[in-house]
Structure formats: structure tokens, C-alpha cells
Amino acid sequence: MAVILDGAALAAKLKARIREEAGALPRPPMLAVVLAGEDPASQIYVRGKERDCAECGIRTRTHRLPADVSQRELSALVDRLNRDGDVDGILVQLPLPEGLDPRPILHAVSPEKDVDCFHPLNAGLLALGEPRFLPCTPAGVLELLDAYEIPVRGRLCVIIGRSHLVGRPLAQLLTARDGTVTLCHSRTADLPALTRQADILVSAAGRRGLVTADMIKPGAAVIDVAMNRDPGGKLAGDVDFPAAEAMAGFLTPVPGGVGPMTRAMLLRNVLQAADRR
Ligand code: NAP
């Protein structure tokens, strides 16, 4: 049976350390959150981030804007936050309301305050192996591997999903750790043939039930990044958990695996941003 990678417990430990370090700074760090529109999931995510920050001694200031906010008003707010000396990190909650283009907004965030690591400069630094911030979800995956002493060097790492949020930056980080990385996507021919060779298999496709036990190499570390809803509304990953548990050596649960780690990594980035300033 697989060892279950307990992201919730590890995140709690990391948060305790972040709280201690935040308390040692000359003033508590500050995260500014921009939330436009009424998307219910975004409201829940933002409340979660506010709670996480409060637990770690990080202040938050959430700017709630109506769904009909203009591109120009949103840019003006980001510009003000960039210049605000009290703000260490800026997070623009996605998705933005329909009709707004997120790219110019995300690109307008000062790279020094870009705690989500979405700015092209920060994405470029990451690609060059000189990251200013680590993107939260990929960093959370690495922390989990490290905590359970799962080696990356020389291992075949197969990632399902090539998004700029998860798959691509994770491929860069695992490559930097001397993993041999195969990045798969919806046009990959014979996905199971590739996943079956993986020592570390990461699924970030957002397709419930995509990864079945026969796609897993016996003893592999299987990291399920996805957050899908089953028909009953329950959170589920991409991996068929009960079947995978019998095949994998290590396995993340959903919820309680990568999700809490992602949240903890955001807090770490805010702390780093504050510390550097
Ligand atoms: P995304 O932008 O929709 O990307 C999904 C990727 O998966 C794409 O590259 C897509 O291929 C690929 N894909 C889709 N179906 C596939 C299939 N049947 N076979 C192989 N590849 C397939 O999603 P994302 O933003 O990266 O997020 C992925 C999942 O992770 C979602 O469930 C999201 O909710 C979750 N997530 C979780 C966390 C967390 O903290 N746990 C954080 C971020 C995201 P193409 O490129 O060819 O379309």
C-alpha cells in the first residue's frame, strides 16, 4: 500500500515556521488581494487565503470590485498597490469577470510583489534557473517530495498537463533538480505508455478518473494536483485513488495533498517579498 503524502500536516508545519519568521520582521507582512466580481469559488478561495494569512501573522487587505469594473480601473488599482509602501505582495484572484483580459493586469503587477509568480519577468527568471519567487503549486509539489525524501535526480518524471500555472513551471523545477521530465498534454499519443515508465507521476489535467492503476509503475510516487468535483459535488483528483493506493509507492490524497501545500507556498512568497523589502 502506498505511503500517503500528508500535505495538510506538512503545510501546518510550514505555516508554523512562517508565522515565527513573519513575527521576527520589523513589521508584519501585508498581502493585497484584488477580487473582482462575484464568482462563488473565488470568494471562497479569497476567504481561505485571508484566514491562512491571519494564522501566520500576515496582514491582508482585500479590494472587492464590482463585476462591471473596467480594465482601466483595475489597472489603476494595481498601479496604486505597486506604489503602496505598506504592500509586500499583490494577488489578483482569477478568473476575472467576463470581458476583462487578465494578461495586462497580471503583467502590470510589480515583479517584486508578484507572489503568484505570474509576471513574465518572474516566469523568465524561473526558466533561467534564477527564480525570484517559486510558483506556488509546483513549489508545493517539490516540498512534498522533499519531505518524504523522494529523490528526483536521475528519475523519470512524467507530468500530465502543460499549463503555465502548473505543468510547465513544474517541468522546469524538476529538470533543475536533475529529473528527466516528460511533459504530456491532451494531444500526447499513448499517455499510458509514458506514465507507466514514470518514477514520479504528476497529474494536473483536471480530468476525474484519468489516471487508472494500470497507468502507474509499481512503487511510483503519484502526485495528484487536480481539483475536480465528482457528481455529488465532492472534491476529487485525476487519480483513481483506491486503485492507485495498491499500486503506487507514494500517493497524495485530494483533498489534503497538494492543495494545502499550494496555500502554504503563497504565504512563504509573501514572507519572502516582505523580507526582501
Ligand atoms: P489547465 O490550464 O486546464 O490545463 C490542463 C492541462 O491538462 C492542459 O495542458 C491539457 O492539455 C491537459 N489535459 C487535459 N485533458 C487531458 C487528457 N485527457 N490527457 C492528457 N492531458 C490532458 O489546468 P491547470 O490550471 O493547469 O489546472 C489543472 C488541474 O489542477 C485543475 O484540476 C485545477 O483545478 C488543479 N489545480 C490545483 C491546484 C492545487 O493547489 N491543488 C492549483 C492549481 C490547479 P492541452 O494543453 O493539450 O489542452
Q: Do 195 and 223 touch, CB atoms closer than 8 A?
A: no
Cα–Cα dist 159/65, whole Å: 36
If one compares 9 and 231, the residue with the highest pLDDT of the two is: 9
Q: Specify the 3-state DSSP secondary structure of 42.
A: helix
Q: How far, in Å, CA of 142 to CA of 174, rounded?
A: 8
96 contacts 102 by C-beta, under 8 angstroms: yes
- Residue in 45, 163, 164 to alter for ligand 1 test, most ligand atoms within 8 A of Cβ: 163
pLDDT digits (tens, 9 = 90+) for 34-44: 999 999 999 99
Read off φ and ψ for residue 34, nearest 5 degrees.
-110, 120
Summary mean pLDDT of the chain: 97
pTM as predicted: 0.97
191 has pLDDT over 90: yes
Query: pLDDT tens digit string along 238-265?
Result: 999 999 999 999 999 999 999 999 999 9
227 Cα: distance to centroid of ligand 1 (angstroms): 9
Mean pLDDT of 94-112: 97
- Whether the per-residue pLDDT at 230 is higher than 90: the answer is no
Alpha carbon of 26 to those of 37, 233, 268, 275, 277: distances in Å?
Answer: 35, 44, 17, 9, 11
Q: What is the mean pLDDT of residues 29-55?
A: 97
- In this structure, the residues whose C-beta lies within 6 A of any atom of ligand 1 are 137, 160-163, 165-167, 184-188, 191, 204-207, 210, 225-228, 258-259, 262
Residue 232 grid cell: 455529488
- Say whether 49 is catalytic: yes
| pLDDT computed for residue 86 by the predictor | 98
Closest CA to 204 of 241, 244, 179, 168: 168
User: 232 alpha carbon to ligand 1 midpoint, in Å?
Assistant: 21
- Partners of 181 in beta bridges: 157
Pocket test for ligand 1, best of 227, 230, 239, 269 (most atoms within 8 A of CB): 227
Q: Is 13 a catalytic residue?
A: no
State mean pLDDT over 110-133: 97
Annotated catalytic residue 116: yes
Residue 54, pLDDT above cutoff 90: yes
User: Residue 187: its pLDDT value, please?
Assistant: 98
Counting residues of the chain whose pLDDT is more than 70, the rounded percentage is 100
